[in-house]
């Protein structure tokens, strides 16, 4: 955008676009022009030496206002947007149906492939696993028996010595001593 076009877009009613002297702010003109040119005060004066806030207010009242470019853009109506949404929804539904059919077909093919495999190998593998587990159990039992072979079962009595003595029930002391609570 040229500087002259940018000056035409300034609003004489907007105080933020003008200095107190009535000339346009360089920063505002720079924003309108963009990064293609670095704008200086002298460049603005060279383009139109008589351009001030008052000159734009008198010319804007005489002329039709310049279109800002936004009026040229066709805005879709709500009806147009609703139609687009409906079309997309129909497309989405169609894609979902196709996807469901493809997933079903893939699952069917996987099932046929699984059924077509040799089921004897599955049975054989299961039997081998059971045999290996039985062998492990037998090895553990043999280890336990070899450990317990040299141990007297009476040594494994989990009771305390006093409980074992009480079980013998000799004539004296047939009851376990109890500490009295009296003073």
> What are the per-10-residue average pLDDT scores of the chain (183 residues)?
80 82 84 80 82 70 48 70 90 93 92 71 86 96 88 77 74 62 64
- pLDDT score for 161: 81
Decide: helix, strand or coil at residue 101.
helix
Euclidean distance between CA atoms 23 and 39, whole angstroms: 14
Nearest alpha carbon to residue 43 among 3, 75, 94: 3
Cα gap 168→102, rounded to integer Å? 81
Distance, CA of 117 to chain centre: 40
Predicted local confidence at residue 63, as pLDDT: 47
3-state SS of the chain: helix, strand, coil percent to 5? 65, 0, 35
In whole angstroms, give the CA distance from residue 106 to residue 171.
85
Distance between CA 109 and CA 172 in Å, rounded? 85
CA geometry: angle at 99 spanning 97 and 84, to 5°?
60
User: Other C-beta atoms within 10 Å of 124: how many?
Assistant: 11
Under a CB-based contact definition with an 8 Å cutoff, are residues 39 and 33 in contact? yes
């Amino acid at each position: 955008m040229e500087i002259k076009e940018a000056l035409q877009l300034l609003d004489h009613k907007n105080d933020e676009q003008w200095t107190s002297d009535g000339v346009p702010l360089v920063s505002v003109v720079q924003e309108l022009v963009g990064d293609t040119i670095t704008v200086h005060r002298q460049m603005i004066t060279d383009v139109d030496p008589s351009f001030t806030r008052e000159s734009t207010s008198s010319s804007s009242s005489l002329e039709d206002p310049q279109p800002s470019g936004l009026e040229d853009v066709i805005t879709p109506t709500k009806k147009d947007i609703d139609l687009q949404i409906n079309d997309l929804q129909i497309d989405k539904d169609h894609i979902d149906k196709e996807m469901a059919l493809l997933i079903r077909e893939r699952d069917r093919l996987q099932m046929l492939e699984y059924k077509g495999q040799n089921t004897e190998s599955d049975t054989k593998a299961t039997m081998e696993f059971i045999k290996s587990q039985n062998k492990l159990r037998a090895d553990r039992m043999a280890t336990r028996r070899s450990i317990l072979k040299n141990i007297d079962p009476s040594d494994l009595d989990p009771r305390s010595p006093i409980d074992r003595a009480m079980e013998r029930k000799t004539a004296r002391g047939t009851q376990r001593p109890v500490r009295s609570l009296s003073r």
